[in-house]
Amino acid sequence: MLEEDKAILLSQPFVRFAPFFAAGMLTVYFGGAALGAILFAVTSAALVYLAKVKKKELLCAAGAVLGILLMSAYMKLYCEPVVGYAGETVRTRIYVTEITKRSGQSEELIAKTALDGRTAKLRLSCEEVLPEEHFADVTMDLELAEQTADNLSNGILLSGEITEINSAEYGGADIYGFFQILRGNFSGQLYRNVFGTSKDFSGAILFGEDSKLSPKYTEYLKVSGAAHYTAVSGAHFAVLAAALLNIIPQSRRRTRILMSMMFAPAGLLFYGISPSVLRASVMFFVYSIGLIFHRRSNPLNSLCIAVTVIGLFSPSAVVDAGFGMSVLGVFGVGAVGPAAAEKLREFLPENAKDALSPAVTALCCSICAVICTTPISAALFGSVSLLGAVTSLLIAPFMAIAMACMLLLGITHIPLFAVPIDLAMKATAFLVQGLGKCRALTLPLDFKGAWVLSALLAVLVTVCAFGNLKTFSRFGRMAGVLAIVIITVSALRVQTRREVRFIGNTYTSSAIVLDKTTADVYISGGGDGLAESISQTLREHGAVRIGKLFAPDLDYGGALAVKELSQMLPIDTVYSNALADGLLTDTEVIRAESGEVFVSCGITIGTGAKYYSPSADILLYGSDIKSISESPAKYAVYFSNAEYELPENFHNARVNRELYVNLN
């Protein structure tokens, strides 16, 4: 891109407006009303001044002012009234949008409802079964939702429990329901003709239905940096659109344009209305309009238009983690990457420039996408995979093949098209499994200021890309030094780490003793469902293996969870009961008695109970915590959404998610 073209692009109205618009909204949401008021005063003064002198930066100030006003109104007029329902019992009509977990006759679900005329998204538990796409008249007890990345990305402010279902009826007979039925038919054809691991990967990568993936493959995807393929985003949108458009000959230009414009809303309905898919839909619509006027829309300009449109009509989308990852990923791969690759090509030997340029561009775009999304990964997920850029490039061709064949299979119902899908997904599973075992190449970013340093790195790389060659060289060296600093700080943090972390729920819990790159794990209670949480904790804090796992009271579900954990990373020795001994054929199991105290790194850990608690440094307590008046432990830990009045040595690990004990 010529310097004149860059200057024209960066002076585009939406390119100037959108970043400051989003920044103003984020400042109010995360910084609070006081910081928003200060920023509003400053940007308003700047807006008046720039309007007088007629500077191009006027749009930047206007974006910030509008973003602050819009988010302030959203917080005051929407969030506060909705959050005000916490602690109340409400009877209302809900629409079930998603079933997140089902066990026997109980389930967890996400539903929409109207609270005082405001549409709200809720995370609910229910002792009966409510199918997706059903309306139901229910009575429920509401409380504040946990501030987790999952809830934040879903725009969920409240959670609760359905105590009574008064009526239920199917409600999917509309245009959205039609596309969901169409999607169901496509996925049904896929599941009837593809089997085993290929079937699970097909559902996860082509439709975003990752609930069918085994925990070990879910963890492999995260370690290898390919987990974003299981969340429907712009990549799915673009590949499916390309597959559809390639069916139409290039000579039928008007038909292709019409199909492009129709695909924008159709793809949105097919994949479901999420902020990241909405972003892709708007960008694709802008691209389609450009075809009408024989112009190719620049990805950066289209992205800024999408951010502006979505922010104006759905302010909550701007704080959605998935939307942020999607926007920054597109910014990295579509704007920063190509600009940086263009400069890197200047350093290639002349006789190899044509041969190496495509590879340099592809790798540079993939690396820039990872760098640009790392600030969110650091802030919300605590780690980033150093393999992400390579894994994305390796998997992308297989995804494209499978997506095109999935479309043909769904339209024609010819089973032969399932063969390339099966082969592509087998290759994907092979790559993910191989790279997913390289846990040492996951960079923990759990130290203070990690997201700030990551954001600064992204800024430096962006300046490199859009500056001249002199700027590229100068800021490139600065970015390289900063990347080394981040990796060094992370490595030092891991090598000096000696601490205890806690995970669990009201039924079972775990204390994880981290010592450099090794962890000892103590499980209190049955242990069912802890495998992924334990593996995630180890990954985010740099542990690559488990030395001792002590779980004397495992039930069958817990024994299966330990077996799943052993498939995710190596475990030297398990101390448990006969159930674990029978299931863990590849790991040494030593019998342990219920109530024994576990020793690791010089501290003792045990299970506290209502009537008897052993003497230990740390005790984990269950759901009978309210009836306990004292504990012999130095550090007593329990898990509850609510705080109780308990002695000073009790700590609620569910409310204080950053709770840990430093052993240094």
Query: Residue 512 falls within a domain, yes or no?
Result: yes
Provide the 8-state DSSP code for 297: P
SS3 assignment, position 636: strand
User: Is there a contact between 475 and 432 (Cβ–Cβ < 8 Å)?
Assistant: no
CA–CA separation, 271 and 264 (whole Å): 11
Give the model confidence (pLDDT) of 464-516 as tens digits.
Answer: 988 888 888 899 999 999 999 999 999 999 999 999 999 987 789 999 999 99
Query: Residue 315 falls within a domain, yes or no?
Result: no
Give the per-residue pLDDT at 180. 64
Give the per-residue pLDDT at 17. 92
CA–CA separation, 532 and 645 (whole Å): 31
CA–CA separation, 531 and 542 (whole Å): 17
Strands 518-524 and 509-515: antiparallel
Instruction: Give the end of a domain, one of 83, 117, 133.
Output: 83
Give the model confidence (pLDDT) of 554-579 as tens digits.
Answer: 999 899 999 999 989 999 999 998 88
Query: Residue 11 falls within a domain, yes or no?
Result: yes
Average pLDDT, the chain: 85
Residues 505 and 651 in one domain: yes
pLDDT band at residue 35, thresholds of 50, 70 and 90? confident
Task: Look at phi and psi of residue 525 and say left if phi exceeds 0, alpha if psi is from -120 to 50, else beta.
Answer: left
What does the block give as tokens for 251?
A: 């000579």
Does pLDDT of 186 surpass 90? no
Q: Which residues contact 630 (CB under 8 A, 6 or more apart)?
A: 647
Give the model confidence (pLDDT) of 270-319 as tens digits.
Answer: 776 677 777 777 877 777 776 665 566 678 888 898 899 888 988 888 88
Instruction: Give the end of a domain, one of 144, 173, 202.
Output: 173
Residues 599 and 630 in one domain: yes
Query: Residue 152 falls within a domain, yes or no?
Result: yes
What is the number of domains present in the chain? 4
Query: Residue 594 falls within a domain, yes or no?
Result: yes
Measure the CA dihedral 36/42/46/49, to 10°: 130
Range from 100-114, 254-268, 455-469 that averages highest in pLDDT: 455-469
pLDDT band at residue 152, thresholds of 50, 70 and 90? low
SS3 assignment, position 657: coil
Query: Residue 328 falls within a domain, yes or no?
Result: no
Residue 322 bridge partners (DSSP): none
Provide the 8-state DSSP code for 525: S
Residues 37 and 118 in one domain: no
Residues 555 and 644 in one domain: yes
Q: What is the mean pLDDT of residues 574-596?
A: 86
For the purposes of burial, counting CB atoms within 10 Å of the CB of 175, is it exposed (0-12), middle (13-18) or buried (19 or more)? exposed
Provide the 8-state DSSP code for 348: S
For the purposes of burial, counting CB atoms within 10 Å of the CB of 158, is it exposed (0-12), middle (13-18) or buried (19 or more)? buried
Residues 376 and 459 in one domain: yes
Instruction: Give the end of a domain, one of 39, 62, 83.
Output: 83
Give the model confidence (pLDDT) of 335-353 as tens digits.
Answer: 899 989 988 888 888 887 7
CA distances from 359 to 332, 347, 356, 476 (A): 16, 14, 6, 20
Residues 475 and 505 in one domain: no
Residue 124 bridge partners (DSSP): 109, 160
Residues 504 and 379 in one domain: no
Query: Residue 427 falls within a domain, yes or no?
Result: no
User: Is there a contact between 649 and 635 (Cβ–Cβ < 8 Å)?
Assistant: yes
Residues 642 and 543 in one domain: yes
Residues 580 and 527 in one domain: yes
Cα angle 329, 331, 334 (rounded to 5 degrees) comes to 100
Q: Which structural domain range is residue 114 located in?
A: 89-173
Residues 57 and 123 in one domain: no
What does the block give as tokens for 608?
A: 């506290």
Residues 345 and 450 in one domain: yes
Query: Residue 45 falls within a domain, yes or no?
Result: yes
Does pLDDT of 607 surpass 80? yes
Residues 526 and 474 in one domain: no
